Amino acid sequence: MSAGQSILITSVRPYGQDEAVDILVVDGAIAEIGTELAAPEGVDQLDGDGAIVLPGFVDLHTHLREPGREDTETVASGSAAAALGGYTAVFAMANTNPVADNSTVTDNVYRAGREVGLVDVHPVGAVTVGLAGKQLSEMGMMNAGAAGVRMFSDDGKCVDDPLLMRRALEYAKGLDVLIAQHAEEPRLTVGAVAHEGPTASRLGLAGWPRAAEESIVIRDALLARDAGTRVHICHASTAGTVELLKWARAQGISITAEVTPHHLLLNDARLETYDPINKVNPPLREESDNLALRQALADGVIDCVATDHAPHASQDKCCEFAQARPGMLGLETALGVIVETMVKPGLLDWRGVARVMSERPAEIVRLADQGRPIAVNEPANLTLVDPDREWVVNGADLASLSTNTPYETMTMPVTITATLLRGKVTARDGAIVGRQSR
């Protein structure tokens, strides 16, 4: 593994501080931070032009669709979307075909990610064989393989059998790996396609009650308590989940949680058109949930942002609401939505953005080389943001192979001007800068 590249980044503002500095990167690590630094001979220069610089983002919840649905996303196209979105590491969910429930699949995804070289791709292993919820997968083998799998999830499906979930947590404890739960009690969501509430009732859509999520959140908190281990909640979507997280933390339970950009910004008022672009799991809820989730993210009750980037083919989205697949794109629009919902209203400053999009996610999965401070001797995984340059979302222009963005025609308030992975520029002004080997 090569250490990385050397580059002089001029005129950037760490965490949005007022004064611009230069950052000299040598062999993939930050060697010097100061003013009027000179580039050593043969070292490239990148003009930051006063951009804000943040640690590269880490996404704990990405669906890359490889293997099995390479028509909708591949490791390469998803890596490009991630780099353009400011990400330097993504966790690729296990609900592929075949399922990532063995080390052959997880190692292949890992190697594909390295080959593309735009972002660190960490495969997530399935908790149960075939995501069937019956038998634990060989977590130890996946952890011991080349991919070193450190996070396991049946995401897309809930590990609903409480005894199996208990065993998974106990097994994970021994391996010191993370179980991430898609919290959905399936007996409460049979046939459900939208948030259970007045809107779904009026529109005649079958409802997915908040209790389906919350009952699993509290159950898993108690199971983690008894197992003496940690558990992570995927895509928290309700105000009630926020209250349960607070309660569990107050008991000293080791529970972490993520929220998606779409659950912060969008709600079931969008369903009036019956456009399946708005269909997602868990469903878009109500404005009161949006507000509670924003406050929880600001307060640290919810640890981090995760995109749940879920590409789907147009034929699986442009159909009757009940038939459409749930899920929406997220990687390329995540920062814009976080600025809109969190930074503009004053709930987070740029330090806070670094915390929820980079530092906390890296800590949750114990990545040593991501989510690090912008400081000398730290790896140069960096994202440059122009806080004053807007752009308009056009699904067809996104790097993802799919176009199912709910933000079509929406103006994003900020632009990512560059992303660097160990000093190598992976994205620059909306374009991918090329592959690298590591």
Catalog residues that contact ligand NCD under the rule CB under 6 A. 63, 95, 155-156, 182, 280-281, 308, 310, 326-327
Beta carbon of residue 234, minimum distance to ligand NCD (angstroms, whole number): 7
Of 282, 193, 198, 205, the C-alpha closest to 237 is 282
398, 410 in Cβ contact below 8 A? Answer: no
Question: DSSP labels for 320-349?
Answer: -TTTSPP-B--TTTHHHHHIIIIITTTS--
Residue 280 binding: pick among ligand NCD, Zn ion, none (C-beta 5-8 Å cut-off by kind) = ligand NCD
Toward ligand NCD, which CB reaches closer, 398 or 425?
398
> Residue 46: phi, psi to the nearest 5?
-125, 120
Toward ligand NCD, which CB reaches closer, 63 or 428?
63
Of 419, 420, 397, 423, the C-alpha closest to 408 is 397
Beta carbon of residue 326, minimum distance to ligand NCD (angstroms, whole number): 3
For residue 128, the 8-state DSSP code is B
* One character per residue 173-212, x = contact with Zn ion (rule: CB under 5 A): ---------x------------------------------
178, 151 in Cβ contact below 8 A? Answer: yes
Q: Which amino acid is at 56?
A: G
Instruction: Note the helical H segments in 228-286.
Output: 239-250, 261-265
Toward Zn ion, which CB reaches closer, 334 or 348?
334
Instruction: Note the helical H segments in 130-177.
Output: 139-144, 162-175
Tell me the C-alpha distance between 89 and 262, whole Å: 20
Toward Zn ion, which CB reaches closer, 157 or 372?
157
User: Quick check: is 47 catalytic?
Assistant: no
Residue 95 binding: pick among ligand NCD, Zn ion, none (C-beta 5-8 Å cut-off by kind) = ligand NCD
CA 298 to chain centre: 17
Beta carbon of residue 42, minimum distance to ligand NCD (angstroms, whole number): 45
Beta carbon of residue 359, minimum distance to ligand NCD (angstroms, whole number): 23
Catalytic hit among 308, 369, 388, 429: 308
Residue 327 binding: pick among Zn ion, ligand NCD, none (C-beta 5-8 Å cut-off by kind) = ligand NCD
Assess 155 for contact with Zn ion (CB under 5 A). yes
Active-site residue set: 308
Return binding residues.
61, 63-65, 95, 155, 182, 235, 281, 308, 312, 326-327
